[in-house]
Each structure stands twice: as C-alpha cells, then as structure tokens.
Chains A and B, each alone.
Chain A
Amino acid sequence: GAGVSQSPRYKVAKRGQDVALRCDPISGHVSLFWYQQALGQGPEFLTYFQNEAQLDKSGLPSDRFFAERPEGSVSTLKIQRTQQEDSAVYLCASSLWERGPSTDTQYFGPGTRLTVL
C-alpha cells in the first residue's frame, strides 16, 4: 500500500520567504509527527497530532513555525520568514493507533529538503 508522502521533495527559499510543506500520512493513521533533521544529525521532534488535535508542539523552534492538520489527515508545516538556520530535511511520520503513540511504530515519509539562501 501507499506509504507516507511528502511534497515538495525539495524546496529552495530566499531568506524571509514563507514556505509550506505538506504531509500525506498513511490512510487511517491517527498519529502524525513532524521532525527536523539537520545535516549529519538525527531527526529532532517538532510536533505531534492525534487526529486533528495538536497535543504537543514543544519541539517547534520558534513562533515562525506553525503546523496544522485540520481534518485529521493531511498536515502542513508552515515556516514564516525563513532563516538560513531553517535549512534542513523535514520529515513527517504517521502511526496507526494500536497501543498508543508511545509504543506504536512510526512510518516515515521521504522528507522535504529545505534550503534557505
């Protein structure tokens, strides 16, 4: 079946521009996560949705970062007034509700590579 998809795969933005990154989770997956992966580092948690509810946004690095999942399916990560330090790969992951988000396996998309010039 189809996995997690993300678009665009690559995005180049000029400093100060706003960008929107899209995530299509696996159909029926309740939980959705966003991660930021800097070059040479492991992914770092940004935010978590359970259906349409954003239950944890503690990893968002600044108020320029905003995520939404209005209908409990597709999610969008928006970055306003992009800065060079925002350059990274943004990964989306989803999981089916089995025992809960702590133990459920997360399935990752291919990521969006954002480069801010």
Chain B
Amino acid sequence: AQSVAQPEDQVNVAEGNPLTVKCTYSVSGNPYLFWYVQYPNRGLQFLLKYITGDNLVKGSYGFEAEFNKSQTSFHLKKPSALVSDSALYFCAVRASGAGSYQLTFGKGTKLSVIP
C-alpha cells in the first residue's frame, strides 16, 4: 500500500521568508510524486511533479521540491513567501508500474503567510 504523511497541519511563515512544507511517502518501487495547492471553494491546482531525473524539481509560482530517496521525502520549498501563497497544500504519490492509477494524497498542510 502507498501512503503520504504531511506531519504539519499548519505552517505559519512571515512574508518574504523562505517556506518549507514537509512530505514523506511510502510506496513499493519507484515513486511518482506530486504537489497540488487548493484555494477555498476551488479544485486542486498542479504545482510540480517528480517522475525521474534531477532530484530538484521546479514548478509554478516559484515553488520547488527536492526528492530525497534515502529519506523518502519530497518537501516543497519557496525562497520568499507571498501572502497570496496562503492556501492548503497537498502532497501525493503514485507507484510506478503498469496498472498503477491511484494517486494517494496526504491530509494537507495549511500554509499561512503573515504580512
């Protein structure tokens, strides 16, 4: 079975400071990893994904994430937080391999950027 843990329900950061939203995963075989953001009353918006290759993945809106296989982590980062980054962030994993359709999400981390 595959699973995702987002250990922090909420992260508070001051505007302009760097932010990190943590994610660890468990999956059989190689993982495919995704980050999505959800604004109130809206669906999930794709930020970035790791499939293969460079462990540092750059995505939308200045976000990036680093795949760390030994620590089974895929933390989301941004060098300078904006108030508009305040939202709910979800990490998700899917196992590689044929017939692997299920995307498993974490419970989400609420990011609050304080002006």
Partner-B contacts on A (CB < 8 A): 4, 33, 40-45, 48, 55-56, 58-59, 91, 93, 99, 101-103, 105-111
A42-B105, A56-B102 known; A106-B32 Cβ under 8 A = no
**B contact set with A: CB distance below 8 Å:** 4, 32, 34, 36, 41-46, 49, 51, 90, 92, 94-97, 99-108
Smallest Cβ distance from B48 to chain A, in angstroms?
9
Q: Is the CB of B32 within 8 A of A102?
A: yes
With a CB–CB cut-off of 8 A, which chain B residues contact A33?
101, 103
- A108 and B101 within 8 A (CB): no
**Bound CA–CA A99/B100 (angstroms):** 13
**Are A59 and B43 in touch, CB under 8 angstroms?**
no
New A-B pairs, 16, CB < 8 Å, besides A102-B94, A110-B41: A40-B108, A42-B4, A42-B90, A42-B92, A42-B105, A42-B108, A43-B44, A45-B101, A48-B101, A55-B101, A102-B100, A103-B51, A105-B46, A108-B36, A108-B43, A108-B44
Majority-rule SS of A interface residues: loop
Q: Which residues in A have their C-beta under 8 angstroms from that of B97?
A: 102
Question: Which 10 residue pairs across A and B have the least CB separation, nearest first?
Answer: A42-B105, A108-B43, A108-B44, A48-B101, A45-B102, A110-B43, A56-B101, A102-B100, A103-B51, A43-B105
Shortest CB–CB separation between residue B41 and chain A, in angstroms?
7
26 chain-A/chain-B pairs, Cβ below 8 angstroms: A33-B103, A40-B107, A40-B108, A42-B4, A42-B90, A42-B92, A42-B105, A43-B90, A43-B103, A44-B105, A45-B101, A45-B102, A56-B102, A58-B102, A59-B102, A91-B43, A91-B44, A99-B51, A102-B94, A102-B96, A102-B97, A105-B49, A106-B103, A108-B36, A108-B45, A109-B43
